[in-house]
């Protein structure tokens, strides 16, 4: 049974009221500062694997809410993907490209370049975009109603210059 979380899009608040001078945007550096300090502390407190699992779950929740509140889920698939590409750029999340698509099996290979999580990082020898894995799976689940996995197979932190994900619908 799937857990129900309390987060709702409106919990993000009204930034025009709350930040009348600074506005709704911040730097990627500040975003990464938060994400990587969370990951470090959580890994020490609850273990690395559990931290990764939680980041994937948080990303999935964010993807679901992003899809519900920013994207038009009534669009046909190709138009939905085109809108998703536009919104990811507009929100400065990254540049999406579909490399392979099997729409019948709902299996894809996609890249996200200039992403928030890792573009420009030093090489760590392991992929780090767990939140993105969940975010992608959450968007597609919300759009299709089917569960997805998204697994990062290339990452800036492993020496690649883009993030590449294998995305598949889960049977069941």
Q: Is residue 149 domain-resident?
A: yes
Q: Which domain holds residue 111?
A: 25-169
Residue 32 lies in a domain: yes
- Has residue 44 been placed in a domain? yes
pLDDT at position 1, please?
76
CATH of the domain at 30: 3.30.1380.20
Q: Could you report the per-residue pLDDT of 68-120, keeping only the tens digit for each? A: 999 999 999 999 999 999 999 999 999 999 999 999 999 999 999 999 999 99
Domain count, the chain: 1
**Is residue 163 within 8 Å of 113, Cβ to Cβ?**
yes
The C-alpha angle with vertex 111 and arms to 110 and 112, in degrees rounded to 5, equals 130
Asked if residue 116 is part of any domain, the answer here is: yes
Any domain includes 29: yes
For residue 164, tell me if it sits in a domain: yes
61 lies in some domain = yes
Helix/strand/coil (H, E, C) string of the chain? CCCCCCCCHHHHCCHHHHCCCCCCCCCHHHHHHHHHHHHHHHHHHHCHHHHHHHHHHHHHHHHHHHHHHHCCCCCCHHHHHHHHHHHHHHCCCCEEEEEEEECCCCEEEEEEECCCCCCCCCCCCCCCCHHHHHHHHHHHHHHHCCCEEEEEEECHHHCCCCEEEEEEECCC
Question: Rounded mean pLDDT of 161-170?
Answer: 96
pLDDT at 172: 64
Q: What is the pLDDT of the chain when averaged over all its residues?
A: 96
């Amino acid at each position: 049974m799937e857990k129900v979380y309390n987060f709702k899009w409106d919990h993000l608040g009204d930034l025009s009221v709350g930040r009348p001078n600074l506005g709704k945007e911040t730097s990627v550096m500040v975003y990464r500062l938060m994400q990587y300090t969370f990951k470090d502390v959580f890994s020490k407190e609850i273990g690395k694997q559990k931290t990764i699992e939680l980041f994937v779950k948080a990303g999935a929740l964010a993807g679901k809410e992003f899809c519900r509140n920013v994207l038009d889920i009534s669009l046909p698939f190709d138009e939905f993907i085109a809108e998703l590409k536009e919104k990811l750029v507009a929100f400065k999340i990254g540049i999406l490209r579909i490399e392979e698509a099997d729409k019948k099996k709902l299996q894809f290979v996609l890249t996200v370049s200039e992403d928030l999580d890792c573009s420009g990082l030093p090489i760590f020898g392991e992929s780090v975009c767990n939140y993105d894995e969940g975010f992608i799976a959450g968007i597609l689940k919300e759009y299709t109603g089917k569960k997805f996995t998204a697994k990062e197979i290339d990452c800036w932190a492993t020496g690649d210059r883009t993030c590449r994900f294998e995305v598949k619908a889960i049977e069941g």
